[in-house]
A and B are shown apart, each in its own frame.
Chain A
Amino acid sequence: QVQLVQSGSEVKKPGSSVKVSCKASGGSISNSAITWVRQVPGQGLEWMGRVIPLLGTANYGPKFQGRVTITADRSTSIAYMELSNLRSDDTAVYYCARYANWLDPWGQGTLVTVSS
């Protein structure tokens, strides 16, 4: 059964970038899409975008377009989400999840704190 394991918490300065990884264990992501969702503390879920490793293509939500890059390495079964030009309101837990439509399973989440 596939599990997704994400990289650890990060503390970043405003204006910098963060890159979060998501590794699949117990299976491969080659034939699946990986989606990234974020959750600001105490708030709901926001769909950021997805990558289809087999095709090497990604698409992004309009709120994040231009600031987010989602990639995947099929050989290592690791997906990445890089968010640039960080602001304080980017402080959130970032989740990866398998599949492009309904999302299952989810990674454990990575807290990214943006603070000067």
Chain B
Amino acid sequence: EIVLTQSPGTLSLSPGERATLSCRASQSIGSSYFAWYQQKPGQAPRLLIFGAATRATGVPDRFSGSGSGADVTLTINRLEPEDFAVYYCQQYFSTPYTFGPGTKLEIK
């Protein structure tokens, strides 16, 4: 089973700043097999990025994904108040398609 680790666990930033969230897999799987989700309290997760860098429909262009091999990054430029949430990465290279433990993005 591929284990994903995310860093940092919590990120405290102010609106207007840039957030950089990292996700690392326990083995190299190629960046095409990563997705990112946003989850707000009491809501289902929402797909943001798939194929490591492709934004899902309706996702603002301040969200971007990058990376390769075993490491991918989600960058959120010019943070808006609605961006403060928990973010999960997921790998779909091999089943079970595991998720990272999440990064909580909180308002500083």
A interface residues (Cβ-Cβ under 8 A, vs B): 35, 37, 44-47, 49, 59, 61-63, 95, 100-109
Contact = CB atoms under 8 A, between A and B. Distances in A.
Given A45-B99, A100-B92, 6 more contacts: A37-B99, A44-B99, A46-B99, A95-B45, A101-B35, A101-B50
Contacts of B99: 37, 44-47
B90 A102 contact: yes
Interface of B: 1, 33, 35, 37, 44-47, 50-51, 56, 88, 90, 92, 95-102
9 contacts: A37-B45, A44-B99, A47-B90, A47-B95, A49-B96, A63-B96, A102-B50, A103-B47, A106-B47
Contact of A44 (B50, B51, B95, B102): B102
A101 B34 CA distance: 9
A31 to B, nearest CB: 18
B95 A108 contact: no
Interface of A is mostly: loop
B95 A61 contact: yes
A106 B44 contact: yes
Contact of B97 (A44, A47, A95, A105): A47
Nearest to A98: B47
A106 B90 contact: no
A102 B45 contact: no
A81 B50 CA distance: 25
Most buried by B among A37, A46, A59, A104: A104
A106 B95 contact: no
A47 B98 contact: yes
A3 to B, nearest CB: 11
Nearest to A64: B96
A26 B81 CA distance: 31
Contacts of B95: 47, 59, 61
